[in-house]
Amino acid sequence: MYLQTTIIAIVMVATFALASWKLKSPEISMVITAIVGALVGGFGFPSRLLVEGMFTYFDVGLIFLTASIFINIYSETGAMNALVRWIVKQFYDKKWLMLILLGILLIIPGALTGAGSVSIFVVGGLVSSVMNYMGFSKKRIAAFIYLFAMLAAVAPPINLWAMLMAAQANMPYVGFGVVLIVPIIIIAAFTILYTGLSKTPGRKTKTEILEELPQPPAGMNWFKILVPFGVLLVLILLMQYATFYIPVLGLPLTFMICAFISMGMDKDRWKVKKWYNVMVKTVDQVFPLLGTVISVGVLVNIMTATGVKGLLAITFITLPMAFIYITALIFAPFAQGSLSYGSAIILGTPIIFLFNSMGLNVTVTAAALSFLFPLGDCLPPSRIVGRLTIETVGYEGSYMSFLKAIAIPWLFMGAIGLLMLLFPNQLRFLVVY
Amino acid sequence: MLVFFDTIIYYLYFIMTAFFAFLLLRNLFKREKRKALVYDIVYSYVIITFILRVIGIK
């Protein structure tokens, strides 16, 4: 059985590599890999498994679509340009303060929703424009946005990896606040320093930038700029803290409500054709991501059915402890790249049980793992947040050069996560109930 | 009251999904980027996912 599953895994890896090389499309390569895996695993043509898999991340896809529609409609009203103008006017000469503010801005949406991709969708474009005008290179902008999106996903109150591991291991999701926030501050400070200390040869004067930036449309005011984001924040907070008193909206509908509010704020609110065109363009823009999440779902479902997913987990946790520590920075991110949040359940929970049996603090361990898993959101096969960052920033280099660009802060975040994993008992003072 | 609103939201999601399925279908035939045959297939199974949700199979 072990040998058979290993053979399936090898065939799937080879198929994925070959399909990616020949077809140049990660989406179709994942589906072909899934079909070949099922055929080799003796499932025949797996129609039912394929359809089931398509829906694994369907809701995530809907969030991508609706968040993009909201932010594109918001930009179309001219509010985004007005906001960028204001930020440049106020903070252009205060680089460090500006970077701290942009970092906080990136963390809020992800912290409230548990998804770094939401941060990039909602404020990534704004942050990218401002940093562009500040003269930072595309590489530094990509590294800044990607790292803060990761930190946003890890930040409390919603850390999906820690929540999933806690639920699976029968431990309460409490005491994670400080143990998550302290490392986040350290990593954020490092990322801000790494970005801020870089050279900015393309930096223009404030007057030049303000001349370049489009003028806000007539009638644009603070009310119109802030209300769509205000409503978004209020609805997300209500979903968190007044769950039993409001109907279940869900993030996609929340984004659509805010998109309609943005439309309502525009003087051309009744020009249906204009908004329809924005939506058509958005669907085209988001399509590669939508295709990716649906294809990843198919691949993960077949990996589960054939036992490849379990094989990866068992292989990892049966390694000697020293090897677990040494390979954690490779296994955990790659598990995230192929299994998405499933990595927390497949890999995270067995590690929690293993560490618990050795008398190590499980809250710190779960927090540590939740810093290691998100590192894989830029790794194949899914590369969801990585690709999203590239599209948002308008990064034109190869994907490998993007990985190199984010390498230093990425490794720093990994090192912090690894240190927490190595010394959970020494860091138990950070677990505050 | 909450149950009533939840039911409305439930149907709103179906309408939303149908609208996105329509936009995807439109982009399948009138797209300007990603015109290769490979993307015809990717578009097809993405659209199938939306249609299956609309008709309530999943």
pLDDT in tens, chain A (433 residues): 788 899 999 999 899 889 888 887 778 988 999 999 999 999 989 889 999 989 988 887 888 889 889 888 988 888 877 887 888 888 888 889 989 989 998 998 888 777 888 889 888 888 898 888 888 999 999 999 999 999 999 998 788 899 888 887 888 888 898 999 999 999 999 999 999 998 877 677 878 778 777 788 888 888 888 999 899 889 988 987 888 888 988 889 999 999 999 999 888 878 889 899 999 988 988 888 788 888 888 988 898 899 988 887 788 778 888 888 888 888 889 888 877 777 787 788 888 888 988 899 999 999 999 999 999 988 887 788 898 899 889 888 888 999 999 999 999 999 999 999 999 999 999 988 7
Q: Is A51 exposed, middle or buried (0-12, 13-18, 19+ CB in 10 A)?
A: middle
Comparing CB atoms, the residue among B9, B32, B33 nearest residue A249 is B9
Chain B environment of A250 (Cβ under 8 Å): 9, 13
The reported pLDDT for the residue numbered A269 is: 79
Q: A231: distance to nearest CA of chain B, Å?
A: 18
* Cβ–Cβ under 8 Å, residues A101 and A148: no
The reported pLDDT for the residue numbered B7 is: 93
Nearest residue of chain B to residue A298 (CA atoms): B45
Q: What is the ipTM of this complex?
A: 0.94
Q: Are the Cβ atoms of B42 and A25 closer than 8 angstroms?
A: yes
Number of Cβ pairs < 8 A linking chain A and chain B: 76
Q: Which two tokens stand for residue A122?
A: 């909602």
The reported pLDDT for the residue numbered A420 is: 95
Residue B47 has pLDDT above 90, yes or no: yes
Q: Which residues of B touch A (CB under 8 A)?
A: 2, 5-6, 8-9, 12-13, 16-17, 20, 23-24, 26-27, 31-34, 36, 38-39, 41-43, 45-46, 48-49, 52-53, 57-58
Comparing CB atoms, the residue among A25, A248, A283 nearest residue B24 is A283
The reported pLDDT for the residue numbered B58 is: 65
Q: A180: distance to nearest CA of chain B, Å?
A: 34
Chain A environment of B11 (Cβ under 8 Å): none
The reported pLDDT for the residue numbered A51 is: 92
Instruction: State the residue for tokens 């709103």.
Output: B12
Comparing CB atoms, the residue among B16, B33, B36 nearest residue A252 is B16
Neighbours of A358 (CB within 10 A): 10
Q: Which residue has the higher pLDDT, A82 or B12?
A: B12
Chain A environment of B41 (Cβ under 8 Å): 28
Chain A environment of B45 (Cβ under 8 Å): 31, 54, 294
Chain B environment of A24 (Cβ under 8 Å): 38
Q: How far is C-alpha B54 from the geometric centre of its chain's CA atoms?
A: 7
The reported pLDDT for the residue numbered A158 is: 80
Chain B environment of A247 (Cβ under 8 Å): 2, 5-6, 8-9
Q: CA-CA distance, A301 to A52, in Å (whole number)?
A: 7
Q: Domains of chain A: which residue ranges?
A: 2-430
Nearest residue of chain A to residue B19 (CA atoms): A279
Percentage with pLDDT > 70 across chain B? 98
Is the overall model pTM greater than 0.95, yes or no? no
Instruction: State the residue for tokens 């999933």.
Output: A164
Give the CA count within 13 Å in the CB-facing half-sphere of A170. Answer: 2
Q: Are the Cβ atoms of B6 and A247 closer than 8 angstroms?
A: yes
Q: Dihedral of the CA atoms A84, A89, A95, A101 (nearest 10)?
A: -50
